[in-house]
Amino acid sequence: MAFLKRLLIFIFLVYELSHPCYSQKKESLLTKKYSPNQLKEDATVLGDVLLAMHPGIGIYKPRIFYHDLIKSFTSSFNDSLTEKQFRLKTKLFIDEFHCGHSEVLYSKAFYKEVNKLKLNYSPYVFLPVKEQLFMIANLNKKQDSSITRGSEILRINGIAVDSMIRYSRRFISTDGFNQTGKDHYVQLGFNSYFLALFGRPDTFEVEYKKGEVLKTIKYSAIQPKAFPPLPLEPKEDSLLRNYKRANIAYRFLDEGNKSMLLKITKFSHKGDARAYRRIFKKLKKNKSENLIIDLRNNGGGSLGNSYRLLSYLLEKESTQTLSTTIKKYPFKKYTKGNLAFKFTRFAYKIIGQKKSVHDTDNFIYTIKPRKKNHYSNKLFVLINGGSFSASCLVAGYLKASNRAVFIGTETGGAIEGCNAGVTPFYKLPNTKLRVRVPAFRIVHDACPLITGHGILPDYEIKYQLKDILSKQDLEMLKVKELIQNH
């Protein structure tokens, strides 16, 4: 028995000595640094991919600008960086492409490790309003609220909040030169951005205003299992009838069914045809005079869905074009999904018309007005900085045809179009960062002028803090006022 024990110990020692990596703790990806040569290799691969396929090059800035930008970006890596440091630097680089569909994500292994960390969330929930920051809720029900709701926050852990807000905006990419999209997403995500950009402290030290008196408070972080939702949205309207698969809801606003609210939270790939068919049939049957389409916070989705909605609303035929300079993904060893790209090219060639100019293939789709249950009466569209991609396609065509009255704030997407259609992720060889690069330029033929800005409202709505805290819907109030005074 003693001999067997000694034998097992001997085998174990031999195994450990011959496999030293098993006795060492694996290096954390959160602190692991990549050499300048590794970073330059990743930057070179990314630059080559972008120059070969990104459809936004030459839209807002000339191609030579991007050659110089990529050269400067690649040569800037003279020190070792962690994956997080490299990602933040790459995000600032990608923002120069003025494309809201281009994104830089951590490696899957990095996310897996980060998700094991404690959130260390502030129990006080903060809300930016332009350059100011306010406390709007206390997540810790057992804690006395030393900071009263609506108090202005001046500093968090020694950092001025206006600097934090401006810094956070820099890492949000939007189409063109749009700022409302940046404002919108910083407002919704500030409490999460704090953890990503400024750390996960165990203790928060907050300087705030109580009346005209400056106060300072220290408190411990809480550790929720997930990011708490921002307590801003009013309770869901119980009268809305939902088509859940289609992300569509509607209801009549009056007893005579003369005004309908149509809320589209996403242009889903499923269920929309049935939903639109039934909804527009009801509008026709009731001879409804007003239709309000709510596209606020609609980040886009299916092009087919948006075409279908427009077919019920546009009075004349209109074309929409997908353009690309590539026939297959370049540098395929760093990406997947080339089949989806080829299928999209093939599908649009079948349902539309292909026209090639030099090295650019244009796939032109014609949006035709429907005869059955077509809606031609008064139309109102609600928009904000969260209206993006396909929702801007719908809004852009309705705006260009003078078909609707727009209420809210400038959309986050550009009126002339965006870069999307198919958006593969490229995985960089060393850091394994994943960079989303669009394959098509989606051209809004109805809006040919390049502006770099979104759809502008006819009636701009500006929220004050009191409106936000009382959960007012100022856009809907304005719509009802316009309908009443019509």
What's the whole-number average pLDDT of the chain? 92
Q: Are 124-220 and 242-423+440-464 the same fold in CATH? A: no
Share of the chain above pLDDT 90, in %: 87
d(CA 314, CA 367): 9
pLDDT digits (tens, 9 = 90+) for 82-130: 999 999 999 999 999 999 999 999 999 999 999 999 899 999 999 999 8
Q: pLDDT tier at 25 (50, 70, 90 boundaries)?
A: low
Q: pLDDT tier at 291 (50, 70, 90 boundaries)?
A: very high
> How many H-runs (helices) and E-runs (strands) does the chain carry?
13, 23
The amino acid at 324: T
pTM score, whole prediction:
0.92
Looking at 99-160, list the stretches that DSSP marks H as alpha helix, in order from N- to C-terminal side: 108-114
Compute the average pLDDT of residues 467-482.
95
Compute the average pLDDT of residues 422-443.
98
Q: What is the pLDDT of residue 24?
A: 52
CA distances from 340 to 49, 317, 328, 331, 345 (A): 18, 28, 10, 16, 9
Whether 19 shows a pLDDT value over 50: the answer reads no
Q: What is the pLDDT of residue 250?
A: 98
d(CA 403, CA 291): 12
486 versus 160: which is more confidently predicted? 160
Nearest to 200 by CA among 167, 177, 233, 222: 222
d(CA 39, CA 78): 9
Whether 3 shows a pLDDT value over 60: the answer reads no
Q: What is the pLDDT of residue 358?
A: 92
Instruction: Name residues whose C-beta falls within 8 Å of residue 392's C-beta, 6 or more positions apart in sequence.
Output: 175, 300, 411, 412, 413, 414, 415, 418, 454, 455
pLDDT digits (tens, 9 = 90+) for 310-358: 999 999 999 999 999 999 999 999 999 999 999 999 999 999 999 999 9
Domain at 242-423+440-464, CATH homologous superfamily: 2-enoyl-CoA Hydratase; Chain A, domain 1 (3.90.226.10)
Nearest to 443 by CA among 355, 369, 383, 311: 355
Q: What is the pLDDT of residue 456?
A: 97
Q: Where are the domains of the chain?
A: 33-114, 124-220, 242-423+440-464
Contact yes or no for 406/458 (Cβ under 8 A): yes
Q: pLDDT tier at 230 (50, 70, 90 boundaries)?
A: confident
Query: Can you read off the two tokens belonging to residue 350?
Result: 């079948």
Q: pLDDT tier at 211 (50, 70, 90 boundaries)?
A: confident
d(CA 202, CA 194): 13
Q: What is the pLDDT of residue 388?
A: 97
Is residue 92 exposed (0-12), middle (13-18) or buried (19+ Cβ within 10 Å)? middle
- Answer CATH for 124-220 from 1.10.4080.10, 1.10.10.10, 2.30.42.10, 3.50.50.60: 2.30.42.10
Whether 201 shows a pLDDT value over 60: the answer reads yes
Whether 405 shows a pLDDT value over 90: the answer reads yes
Contact yes or no for 387/412 (Cβ under 8 A): yes
Q: pLDDT tier at 249 (50, 70, 90 boundaries)?
A: very high
